[in-house]
Amino acid sequence: MKKGINKNNNLIKFLIILGIVICSLSLVAAHQPRITDGDYSLLENAVLIEQPEISQAFYGQLTGKPVYYKITSDKPFKLYVGILIPDISGVQKNFMSVEVTDSAGNSVLFLNGSDYDWKPYFEEFGGDQYLEGPEARKNVTAGTYYIKVFNSNNQGKYSLAVGEIESFPPLESLQAMVLLPILKQQFFEKNIVVFLLQFVGIIIALGTLTVMLSLNLKAKKSEEWLETALKVNPYIKNFYWIGFILTIILWLAHYISNPLNILGIINTLVLVILVIMSYNLNKKFANITMDKLYLKRSVALYVLWWLFVFLTVTVI
């Protein structure tokens, strides 16, 4: 029996480590996301791009005027610029052009999107579809440069890629995870109904787990609460599994539609760990005592559930 438990614990540890490694690798392969929100239609208030050689993606929208970005460097650097637009079914495609000029107004790079053969591009980290436009790179001297994003009517959404050095320090990784759900809704116009349906099972399962964890925490303080937990847990655990099974079905239905999404793969891995941990705790909760409430495992399961929730929000 102990060997079986140890094997399960080792498997859980292995899956957690594997998930962290995969997550780290996926972040390395992505641009640092930035949201351009505001009026940047004049050179005087251009969006400042720091560390221009670091791979960054600026998500914005033209609303009748061009948008300007500004790079100031005190040393020579390799300038890379690329342009993409979201590939959303049923939405008009507004192809973008990009021009880079120096402080004197001389043209340094020009990406003509109107005459370019835009190609479909699947971004594996967020699992989103783009149309990829022209790109260019050039070694430039120290100085100030302006990047202008525009088209004939200055309308449409775009993603401006700058820099080619992949870098994702911890704070950037956290910021990327926070921004992705916003981009899903604002930039890719994800359906809010699908989003809500996905969370029906999660609400049931996580809500039930919250009640069970609260009861077990109180059971640590008195025999009376312990008896209550022993009586209630067998009943409410059924609701937990109903919510969990519903979560699995809804998630797999979503995942199958986009199996190449790296975050989707990671989230599926988290779901597998949740199944294993839930199965182990399910048997133990029926025989809890004051000395064996399995609080550490319960808290670990609770935290893992919130990780699943966060990744689900990000992917959908």
The answer, yes or no, to whether residue 93 has pLDDT greater than 70, is yes
Q: Is 149 helix (H, G, I), strand (E, B) or coil?
A: strand
Question: Rounded distance, CA 259 to CA 266, Å?
Answer: 11
Q: What is the pLDDT of residue 289?
A: 63
Composition of the chain by helix, strand, coil, percent to 5 = 50, 25, 25
Question: Rounded distance, CA 235 to CA 228, Å?
Answer: 11
The answer, yes or no, to whether residue 280 has pLDDT greater than 60, is yes
Q: What is the pLDDT of residue 174?
A: 61
Which of 1-5, 64-68, 163-167, 176-180 shows the highest mean pLDDT?
64-68
pLDDT tens per residue, range 26-56 = 444 457 888 888 899 999 999 999 999 999 9
Q: Is 161 helix (H, G, I), strand (E, B) or coil?
A: strand
Q: What is the pLDDT of residue 2?
A: 47
The answer, yes or no, to whether residue 187 has pLDDT greater than 60, is yes
